[in-house]
Amino acid sequence: MFVLDQILRENIRKIKPYSSARDEYSGTEGVFLDANENPIGTVGGGHYHRYPDPMQSGVKELLAQLKRVEMQNIFLGNGSDEAIDLLFRMVCEPGKDNVLIFPPTYGMYQVSADINNVEARQSILTESFQINLDDAFSKIDERTKIVFVCSPNNPTGNNIDPRSIYKLLDNFNGIVVVDEAYIDFSYGMTFVRELSNYPNLLILQTFSKAWGMAGLRLGMAFGSKELITIMNRVKPPYNVNQLTQKYAVKALQNILHKEQMVQEILFEREKLIERFNEFDKVQRIYHSEANFILIKVQGARNIYNKLIEKLVIVRDRSSVVLCEDCLRISVGTKEENEVLLKAFAEVI
């Protein structure tokens, strides 16, 4: 059985939350002389001389409606990468505990594990980029605290079979992270709807991809109220800045804009797949449920370098397990894709 208190590090279990000025008085009216801010204004203009809302209530109110969860089920961070790092610090005792990842997958899980001095055990995906459950469970032991599932997976682009994720949720007593950074581009199900059934579930989503806000850094995590409470306690108090909060509120009032961009990107993705299919040297284009495609092509490394000479930058994944001779290519605009295809035809 999953018991949050049992997997938290002892120091975290005992922690008293830092109480910021804005926590202690959260009203909006009054003369604010409690946070040592500049009362006059902001150098360079704008109104950023007050600390931002530490709980990002404006954003969470709209997000709760959109995702059909309660505000207390939402954590917001400086990118989803902040949530990943927080989790390590909350539940993994450095040098003792371990986590499980499924390569080829998003690189940040390993990086965050290394930074926190936590062993990242690997269970390599199958040839069809699915989880090998027997292998996964053979690598889990009593010191395994987190399992990271990325679906749709980066860099392969496919969804992980939800049945495998349910097996992990049902049988693993640590936290199952389901990273849904690309969910807006996918026909697959979101696990957000399973929150009430699984206290060990934490879903990551982001404003960086479909919402087009990578430069503003805003990541979402959805989990049980208990888990989210601890995350909020461990995060830096003002982790999401004022400007980002303001933009996120605007974005959440313009969901249609996001959906239009997603449709356009999906359309361009399908066109790109058709066009790459015409090249003999392209051995394989993997099915994608994301805003990128993974292609297998003879001499990928060389092609990557030659594309760079033409100022077309894709991602060389040829040294990644199961991705030999593979390039990961983000779907660009119509014009960018034309530039890519022209350059690709020339170098190949």
Ligand X SMILES: *Cc1c(COP(=O)(O)O)cnc(C)c1O
Binding site for ligand X (CB under 6 A): 79-81, 106, 150, 154, 179, 181, 206, 208-209, 214, 219
Between residues 144 and 154, which has the closer beta carbon with respect to ligand X?
154
Between residues 81 and 97, which has the closer beta carbon with respect to ligand X?
81
Label residue 118 left, alpha or beta by phi (over 0 means left) and psi (-120 to 50 means alpha).
beta
> Minimum distance between the CB of residue 142 and ligand X, rounded to whole angstroms?
28
Between residues 179 and 316, which has the closer beta carbon with respect to ligand X?
179
Q: Are 295 and 286 in contact (CB under 8 A)?
A: yes
Give the residue among 217, 19, 218, 4 at the shortest CA–CA distance from 90.
4
> Minimum distance between the CB of residue 240 and ligand X, rounded to whole angstroms?
12
> Minimum distance between the CB of residue 110 and ligand X, rounded to whole angstroms?
12
Between residues 4 and 177, which has the closer beta carbon with respect to ligand X?
177
> CA 280, CA 11: separation in Å to the nearest integer?
58
Q: Are 290 and 186 in contact (CB under 8 A)?
A: yes
> Minimum distance between the CB of residue 291 and ligand X, rounded to whole angstroms?
10
> Minimum distance between the CB of residue 154 and ligand X, rounded to whole angstroms?
4
Tokens at 3, concatenated = 């018991």
Between residues 211 and 344, which has the closer beta carbon with respect to ligand X?
211
Question: Which residue's CB atom is positioned nearest to ligand X?
Answer: 79
Q: Which helix (H) or strand (E) holds 308?
A: helix 300-309
* Residues 6+ away with beta carbon under 8 Å from 67: 74, 192, 222
Strands 292-297 and 326-330: antiparallel
